[in-house]
Amino acid sequence: MAGQLIFAALLAATLIVFSLTVRKYVFRFSLTGPHRIRHWRKRIGLMFQVAFGQSRIFRRPVIGFFHALTFWGFCMITLGSIEMVVDGLLGTERSFAGIGFLHRLFTALGDVFAFLVLISISVFLVRRIVLNIRRFQGVEMKRKSHIDALIALVMIFLLMVTLLGFNTSYLLSDPQPAVGTYPVSAILASWMTPGDPGKAGFVMHLSWWSHIILIFIFANLLPYSKHFHVFMSIPNVLLSRLEPLGKAENMTSVMNEVKAMLYPEQSGAAGPPPERFGLLDAGDISWKGYLDALTCTECGRCTDVCPANRTGKLLSPRKLMIDLRARMKEMSEGKMKNGRNFQDGKTYLGDYISAEEIWACTLCNACARECPVNINQPSLILDMRRYLVMEKASAPASLNMMFSNIENNGAPWQYGSHDRLNWVTCLDIPVPVMANLAAQGRKPEYLLWIGCAGAFDDRYQKVARAMIKILHHLGVDYAVLGTEETCNGDPARRAGNEMLFHMQALALIETFRHYDIRKIITLCPHCFNTFLNEYPDLGFSSEVVHYATFLETHVASGKLKSSAGHFKNDTIVFHDPCYLGRANGVYQAPRTLLGTVNSDKTEMERSKSFSFCCGAGGSQYFKEAEKGSTEVFIERTGEVIASGATVIASSCPFCLTMLTDGVKYLNKEGEIRNLDVAEILAMEAGLTSEKPRSSVTGPRLSPG
């Protein structure tokens, strides 16, 4: 009875402390904004795959295996812990024994997993203490973070030792018959000399109480440590984003405002303007954004793959999460003390995160792809850019120039729409234009979207021409928009100018509707991503394919044959563009196309979903890179060289330019050619005599 009373008192103290912590967090969540959750069935599938199946963790198979064992171990051991609490309250022993086989099953699994978790935690401790792991370093990893991690690991270690100690001493206390099954503890007990069952009973009680007290302390420490993810990771994965990584969240308020401006006759579209565009402080974040920050395990997988961070820039996606937690704590404590309207004069963007960090991001989504608990860091960065551009008008000068170009010319460069068809002049085959076909009462099956780079960049014009030759050869029924084409708004959106994006997109959608466009082939993966994932939010959906996917079916049917043998002495490596691969999952199509070419093939160390950005994404192409130890395109080109390739194949205008710059910078122009997949196919099929080499390309187009 005394034991029961002590136990009840300890449990009550634990719950009181825990509820005080919960109160703090409820207040913090009350400061955040709304976030809508739908598609529950899909979410449950995702939870089983990512949370219970630990699919993200296994992207690093060895250490992932130990993490997964720890997670599964926690799930198994929890059942035993619940039984212990019931026993403690009721003064019973093994109170769930009545469920028979199931009891034997969960006690057996709990015992085996306690041992496996012990091994895993030992591995983690050795890694933390002995090995100098890069991803555990960084400006955001203060001494407190390391101590916090070590305390949590040691506590888990002790929890497993006491659990195994309890089970082993229970068996040594000679129960007749033993209730439950304990395979590992049975082995441990068999190694020990049977002694006085009374002594074993004493050790059993000592282990039981130690284990229970550790659980109570651990439960109250977790919400203040990075190990809060023990509670948060499953709900966070359940509630995480379902959309493709490339999709930017639409700002409906901005869309409605632009609609009201463009179509005043339909006004009523614009609701009340939001208090603030974008994200300045922790209170501007949605409750889901704050849940992300609380779930962050500080594992550093995101920072470790971040091209900006890898090339010495200030940006670290992990820091975004750690700082958001810290700012929310600071802000909420002030408001708890002085009232909800209290302002301490500090902000998340400015006092914690600098504009330099925000502008260094290439929006490559490597961080979000890697995060084991499905956190989406790029959306946070984009929201801060939106604040800087729409509230403060403080984008880097070259981005402002790019915005003016789009506003004035419908292209990010200083070229007018009347020049949009200049690239066709040296073609010896006609290029069908949508307006001309419409005048003849004809409607082609596909719109071939050339994009601003295809229209204006000398180098990418060659790719556009190669694509025309291929489509002509295949007899595809298509047309281009020609001078009616205009920037679809993607570079403006990625740079935070949501207003300009909507102005471009809504105007373009009118053109699409005018020609009743249902199917679009794009050259550029960024345009592909925008039409596929973002235009539906604006009310325009169509069948959109990147040209690599489109051509894959034709290659499979044998209509496009590669036989010229231009590359028979070459080794080709494919560089995955972020907005084709990681953002939209198209990895195989360009590889299938290249597979038809008579040449050797190789892969870079980082490819497919692990691919490393070329450095142009997130509108970086239109501005100078932030200060760092090197440039992203140089690092990526170094990887090309290490692969031994003599031809870089890509399928994005920006990757082509960046890697061409890299080849030049590293003086490899005589050894490495840089081509688009469409060019390679056109050359191999004998359709083009243009044989571009990296040395014949012009300079990178600048907005100025």
Burial tier of 30 (Cβ tally within 10 Å: 0-12, 13-18, 19+): exposed
CA separation for the pair 425, 91 (Å, rounded): 90
Strand-pair partners of 546: 522
Nearer to ligand SF4, 310 or 459 (CB): 310
Q: How far is the CB of 137 from ligand SF4 (least distance, A)?
A: 13
Nearer to ligand SF4, 189 or 375 (CB): 375
Nearer to ligand SF4, 550 or 612 (CB): 612
Nearer to ligand SF4, 601 or 608 (CB): 608
The total number of residues shown for the chain amounts to 704
Positive or negative CA dihedral for 456, 460, 466, 467? negative
Nearer to ligand SF4, 623 or 673 (CB): 623
Do the Cβ atoms of 466 and 676 come closer than 8 Å? yes
CA separation for the pair 150, 371 (Å, rounded): 21
CA separation for the pair 565, 372 (Å, rounded): 44
Nearer to ligand SF4, 296 or 652 (CB): 296
Strand arrangement, sheet containing 571-574? 600-602, 571-574, 647-650, 673-676
Instruction: Tell me the angle at which helices 143-172 and 101-129 cross, rounded to the nearest 10 degrees.
Output: 140
Q: How far is the CB of 536 from ligand SF4 (least distance, A)?
A: 23
Nearer to ligand SF4, 311 or 596 (CB): 311
Q: How far is the CB of 657 from ligand SF4 (least distance, A)?
A: 18
Do the Cβ atoms of 449 and 519 come closer than 8 Å? no
CB-based contacts of 365, cutoff 8 Å, min separation 6: 245, 246, 378, 578, 582, 583
Strand-pair partners of 349: 353
Q: What angle do CA 468, 654, 520 make, to 5 degrees?
A: 40
Q: How far is the CB of 150 from ligand SF4 (least distance, A)?
A: 17
Q: How far is the CB of 291 from ligand SF4 (least distance, A)?
A: 12
The three-class DSSP label of residue 697 is coil
Report CA Rg, the chain. 30
Q: How far is the CB of 616 from ligand SF4 (least distance, A)?
A: 11
DSSP string, 287-342: HHHHHHHHH-----HHHHH-HHHHTT-S--HHHHHHHHHHHHHHHHHHHHHH-TT-
CA separation for the pair 392, 379 (Å, rounded): 19
Nearer to ligand SF4, 4 or 609 (CB): 609
Positive or negative CA dihedral for 257, 258, 264, 266? negative
Q: How far is the CB of 340 from ligand SF4 (least distance, A)?
A: 29
Q: How far is the CB of 557 from ligand SF4 (least distance, A)?
A: 37
Q: How far is the CB of 578 from ligand SF4 (least distance, A)?
A: 8
Q: Element (H or E) spanning 432, and its range?
A: none
Asked if omega into 177 is within 30° of 0 (cis), the reply is yes
Q: How far is the CB of 21 from ligand SF4 (least distance, A)?
A: 21
Do the Cβ atoms of 372 and 56 come closer than 8 Å? yes
Nearer to ligand SF4, 373 or 682 (CB): 373
Nearer to ligand SF4, 206 or 625 (CB): 625
Nearer to ligand SF4, 323 or 684 (CB): 323
CA separation for the pair 434, 304 (Å, rounded): 47
Nearer to ligand SF4, 57 or 524 (CB): 57
Q: Element (H or E) spanning 600, and its range?
A: strand 600-602
Q: How far is the CB of 36 from ligand SF4 (least distance, A)?
A: 22
Residues that bind ligand SF4 (CB under 6 A): 296-302, 305-308, 315, 317-318, 321, 361-367, 370-373, 375, 377-378, 381
CB-based contacts of 119, cutoff 8 Å, min separation 6: 66, 69
Strand-pair partners of 286: 33
Which position has the token pair 């300079």? 699
Nearer to ligand SF4, 196 or 356 (CB): 356
Q: How far is the CB of 58 from ligand SF4 (least distance, A)?
A: 14
Nearer to ligand SF4, 308 or 687 (CB): 308
Distance of alpha carbon 248 from the chain centroid: 12
The three-class DSSP label of residue 79 is helix
Q: How far is the CB of 385 from ligand SF4 (least distance, A)?
A: 11
Does residue 374 come out as left (phi exceeding 0), alpha (psi in the -120 to 50 range) or beta?
A: left
Q: How far is the CB of 453 from ligand SF4 (least distance, A)?
A: 21
